[in-house]
Amino acid sequence: MTTVKIPDGHGNTLTLLEVDGHYYPNSSADVIRGIRDVTIRNDDVLICAYPKCGTHWLWEIIRLLLVGNTDGEIREKDELHLEFVANDVIEKFPSPRILNTHVQFHQLPQTVQEKKCKIIFLARNPKDVAVSFYHHHKNLPMYYHYHGTWDHYLPLFLEGKVDFGSWFTYMKNWEKEMKNHPELPFLTVMFEDLKEDSLSGIKKMADFLGVKRSEQFYHAVSERTSFGQMQATKGRLLKEHGGTSIVYRKGAVGDWKNHFTVGQSEMFDQLYREQMNGCNFSFRYSTTDSVP
């Protein structure tokens, strides 16, 4: 394990942890290496997503669906985030556990394949992911020590010099593995679909989880997990210097248009075409939308 400082070519560095050739945020190498040995249970639900695709949102929806009650205490997904929580803590956690991780398929706990727990794969328009990740890196200076501008940062994202590596590699690998494992129960959820019609998304997830609740309850989950509600309740837990929430920042589709220049957008599109050629993921709010 090494702490590395990735230079952006403009005098700034992004501080990451390197474990066995992969980049991670500030955690423990033992915890990261221990992920493979987590004992999966049949009734675990596993959320897999590249960072900043909305894991906090999905975790809360699934938690409420499983608990069947929207008035309980405030809980955070980080209590079951595989990269941060030691195995002995995860092992003691009562079922049902909603595990979540940003690692690649081949880095998942080995018993996933044997137990065939339900896996929800979450994806988001990569331009919005890049913007959200930029703010994440800037707003957590105590971990990342990153002080560059958006222009300085974008190449780091495109080259995969960020925690969990390249978005392109991550997506291509996941698509391949989901195809290679038809025996495993996967559900793919797109951030943009959930944003446009959260009620339908919530019902689809309930179906996948084998949970049956009242129509009224699904409405309550949708309301309770709206961006405004989550920002007001859970957003209080982790705030940046100015007092605004770090995780619950904007929660919008298309915020990339407020950050990318026309040139950056075209360059991104070109790279997307080269890298994702043959990939079947389609993003409703296409990467080729023009910058206003």
Contact call for residue 221 and ligand A3P (CB under 6 A): no
Structure token pair of residue 48: 């897999």
Sole binder of ligand A3P in the list 23, 24, 57, 268 (CB under 6 A): 57
Question: Would residue 10 show up in a list of annotated catalytic residues for this protein?
Answer: no
Beta strand pairing status for 13-19 and 2-7?
antiparallel
132 belongs to the binding site for ligand A3P (CB under 6 A): yes
SS3 readout for 44-83: CEEEEECCCCCHHHHHHHHHHHHHCCCCCCCCCHHHHECC
Is 225 a residue that touches ligand A3P (CB under 6 A)? yes
Site size toward ligand A3P (CB under 6 A) is 21
Q: Is 283 in the site for ligand A3P (CB under 6 A)?
A: no
Site for ligand A3P in 236-255 (CB under 6 A): 247-251, 255
Choice between 115 and 285, CB closer to ligand A3P = 285
State the catalytic residue, choosing from 102, 135, 136, 137.
102
Q: Are residues 249 and 135 in contact, defined by beta-carbon separation less than 8 angstroms? A: yes
Binding to ligand A3P (CB under 6 A): which residues in 179-208?
Answer: 195
Q: Which is nearer to ligand A3P, 71 or 88 (CB)?
A: 71
CA 232 to chain centre: 20
**Where in 162-181 is the site for ligand A3P (CB under 6 A)?**
none
Rounded Cα gap, residues 137 and 40, in angstroms: 31
What distance, in Å, lies between the first and last C-alpha atoms of the chain?
44
> Which of 204-212, 224-232, 262-270, 282-290 is the region at the interface with ligand A3P (rule: CB under 6 A)?
224-232
Q: Which of 179, 160, 180 is nearest to 170 (CA)?
A: 160
Of 40 and 222, which CB lies nearer to ligand A3P in the complex structure? Answer: 222
Burial class (CB in 10 A: 0-12, 13-18, 19+), 160: middle
The 22-24 sheet, strands edge to edge: 2-7, 13-19, 22-24
Kindly state the smallest distance separating residue 143's Cβ from ligand A3P, in Å: 14
Tell me the window of 16-24, 52-60, 172-180, 277-285 that interacts with ligand A3P (CB under 6 A): 52-60
Binder among 14, 31, 40, 53 for ligand A3P (CB under 6 A): 53
No. of helices (H) and no. of strands (E), the chain:
13, 7
Q: Is 235 in the site for ligand A3P (CB under 6 A)?
A: no
CA dihedral 165, 138, 126, 99 (to 10 degrees): 60
Q: Binding marks (x or -) toward ligand A3P, 145..164, rule CB under 6 A?
A: --------------------
Known catalytic residues are 102
Which residues of the shown chain bind ligand A3P in the complex (CB under 6 A)?
51-57, 128, 132, 135, 195, 225-227, 230, 247-251, 255
